[in-house]
Amino acid sequence: MAFNPDDFQFEKILPPEERKPILEWDALHRLMVVRVKQDGEWTYLGTKLDTQINNNLHNNLPDEWSNENDRIVTFAVFEDGEHIFEKEKLKFDFSAKTSKWLRYEKNDLTDGQVRELFDILKAALAVQQTDAEVVKSKAIIDVATRQEYLVKTDEVKKQNLTKLLRSSDWSQLPDATESFPGEIEMWTAYRTYLRENVKTPEDFDDMLDYLIWDEEYKWPIDPFAYHELDPDHTNDYLSVPSHFKYNVYEAGEYTTEQLVGDVKQSALLAKKRQDEGGLPMNKQIWDKIQQYKLNEGLTGAVIENLNISE
């Protein structure tokens, strides 16, 4: 999968076939690459740091590491503890009367300093992920909990319910005939399921619970679709996941499933913050974030949105 530096999400990348670091920060271009283990194998993931977080790193690291006239260009650390520490210094050329950056290597960090910078960069990744999750979640929930959104989703559900019940009214007539054994009984079960399981916002005390339910709700397939799917009726009607779908109609079902994730995930995150006092954050990481002001200027990765734990 190609790495798109404009995306926040980590993407799998393939570094050049040379000695690979376990973490590398390209401080000028805001790029971060880390080695992680997935499914028992090492892989490399990359992301582009938020401008504010990258600036926080430059501005709040010790001056001997980075300052406005002598800044970090690249830091990389390897499994054996060795590191690469490139910097550039702003020099004034008196003959040309211009300033220019001169790059040089400064690989004299102590083992303790290497470890400290490694931990700071891990904290920067943590604060970026947390801030993005909270900000995105709040923005979506702000829209999704507005009255017009709730009314619209409720109306759509009710319209679908009415259509489905009306289109199956024939099955409850005294002279209704079956095209396969047990069909009428299945239509009765279908209609009962619809009436008992389609809910409204008024059924919930917390609108986050309603949003989560709304995004997770699946409509039952009708007996015709069931019989076509399972002609031998191996599984009882409405007894397995394949007897339910996200959308009432087949057309657009894939799109619907792709779209429901944003609101659902945002509602789940908001619910987690509400029930658990915030998103989980390790105290050691939080201490680094505070020490180096890595969340300066951010609105999501702040103490009121976090649950700090040992």
User: Does 116 share its domain with 158?
Assistant: no
Q: Which pLDDT score, from 0 to 100, does residue 37 have?
A: 80
Q: Picking from 50-54, 102-106, 170-174, 248-252, which range would have the lowest pLDDT averaged per residue?
A: 248-252
Q: Which residues contact 155 (CB under 8 A, 6 or more apart)?
A: none
Q: Is residue 74 part of a domain?
A: yes
Would 250 be classed as within a structural domain? Answer: no
Question: Quick check: 197 pLDDT over 80?
Answer: yes
19: left (phi over 0), alpha (psi -120 to 50) or beta: beta
Q: Is residue 290 part of a domain?
A: no
Ranges of beta strands (E only) in 106-183 are: none
Structure confidence by residue, pLDDT tens digits, 276-299: 777 788 899 999 999 999 999 999
Residue span of the structural domain in which 190 resides: 145-245
Q: What is the DSSP string of 100-127?
A: EEEEEE-----HHHHHHHHHHHHHHHHH
Tokens for 97, please give them.
């009367």
Number of H helices, E strands in the chain: 8, 11
Distance separating alpha carbons of residues 86 and 163, to the nearest angstrom: 67
Residue 263 falls within a domain, yes or no?
no
Looking at 132, 156, 176, which one is the last position of a domain? 132
Of 132, 160, 179, the one marking the end of a domain is 132
Q: What is the pTM of this model?
A: 0.62
Residue holding tokens 């559900």?
A: 157
Other residues' Cβ atoms within 10 Å of the Cβ of residue 16? 6
- In a shared domain, residues 121 and 177: no
pLDDT, residue 281, reads: 87
